[in-house]
Amino acid sequence: MQTLVDAIVYSSLLSMMGFGLTLVRRTTGVWNVAQAGLVTIGAYSVFTGVRFLGGVPYIYLPIAFLISAAVNALLFWVFINPLRRRGSSFFVLLVATIAFNIVLNGLINIYTDFLQNAYSLSSKNFLFTRLDPSILDQSAILFVSLFGLILLTGILFFFLNFTRIGLALRGSIEDPTLSKVMGVKVNRIYLLSWAIAGGTAGFAGALLPMRFQCNPGIGGSLIAIMFSVSILGGVGEIYGPFLGGWLVGFAQIYGISLFSQAFGPWVLPYKKLLPMIILVLALLFTPQGLSGIDWSNKVGSLSKGGKD
């Protein structure tokens, strides 16, 4: 049962993190490595709130969302957007996000060092499982992560299909030139997509300490997995990462226990390799991702997808 809870929480959080990657890749063509730092920022926003103000960790979720959203928007507006306008190649943009992530990494570590030295807080390693209230004999995180994901998907669906800005966002993704002609301020819409992506990453990061041990490198240790989620799900489709997150999450947690039953417990430490194997297989066999495969005669698709 605990394994199932782990798998559900983990998969939901992975879906959210992968969603951020997919969204900005889809809107602006950038793989945002700084997503790693944003997840960590989310976790430390909650840490700061709980340690200084107390209370149930969940009340700090909106703050975590806003801070990460602001940081990602800053990255886009100050660095990525000017670079894109100049027509920089993909690796320049990728290097920019990596460099930004290195700066974030430095800042987060300075902050945690400071908390440790000035307030004697054990900021380098923390877990909030004990602060998690229980609902129906289960930790609340199970429901929060699951409903958080469903809510996110719901809001996104509503936003993309029924609001003017949402439609503009979809339009800017599908056909930027036409959107510009129609009077959509494409750059602002892109900025919005970066903010949403960053916020989602921060939100997922804020939920991490409820179930998993957190440290200043937590986001960095998950970045390869986020890429697997995003690529396996397919960047052609905004809802791809939800599929990818559940596949990767369950594969990692259940796959490894299957392997350990088959080959013995020595395989357990290698579970970190699983997402990379999945990533390589996905890149080899379905580089456009699962949602990019043409299911159109079976399932109605939101967008064309699979162009990449």
- Least distance in angstroms from the C-beta of 108 to another protein: 9
Which of 107-114's residues contact partners 24+ apart within 8 Å by CB, and which partners?
108/37, 108/40, 108/41, 108/44, 108/216, 109/216, 111/44, 112/44, 112/216
- How far, in Å, CA of 239 to CA of 16, rounded? 10
> Which CB atom, from 136 or from 262, has the smaller least distance to another protein?
262
Of 203, 250, 205, the C-alpha closest to 223 is: 205
- Least distance in angstroms from the C-beta of 304 to another protein: 19
> Which CB atom, from 144 or from 223, has the smaller least distance to another protein?
223
- How far, in Å, CA of 145 to CA of 30, rounded? 27
> Which CB atom, from 58 or from 126, has the smaller least distance to another protein?
126
Compute CA distances 12 → 42, 136, 151, 234, whole Å: 16, 20, 12, 17
At 138, give phi and psi (nearest 5°).
-120, 155
- Least distance in angstroms from the C-beta of 102 to another protein: 4
Q: Which residues bind another protein (CB under 8 A)?
A: 31, 33, 79, 82-83, 86, 88, 90-92, 94-96, 98-107, 109-110, 113-114, 117-118, 220, 224, 227-228, 231, 269-270, 272-273, 275-276, 279-280, 283-284, 287
Of 52, 70, 283, 84, the C-alpha closest to 176 is: 84
- Least distance in angstroms from the C-beta of 253 to another protein: 17
- Least distance in angstroms from the C-beta of 109 to another protein: 5
> Which CB atom, from 4 or from 273, has the smaller least distance to another protein?
273
> Which CB atom, from 36 or from 160, has the smaller least distance to another protein?
36
- Least distance in angstroms from the C-beta of 89 to another protein: 8
- Least distance in angstroms from the C-beta of 78 to another protein: 9
CB 221 within 8 A of CB 43: no
> Which CB atom, from 184 or from 218, has the smaller least distance to another protein?
218
> Which CB atom, from 158 or from 270, has the smaller least distance to another protein?
270
Alpha helices in the chain (DSSP H): 2-28, 35-53, 61-74, 81-85, 90-119, 140-162, 164-174, 176-181, 186-207, 218-233, 240-250, 256-263, 273-285
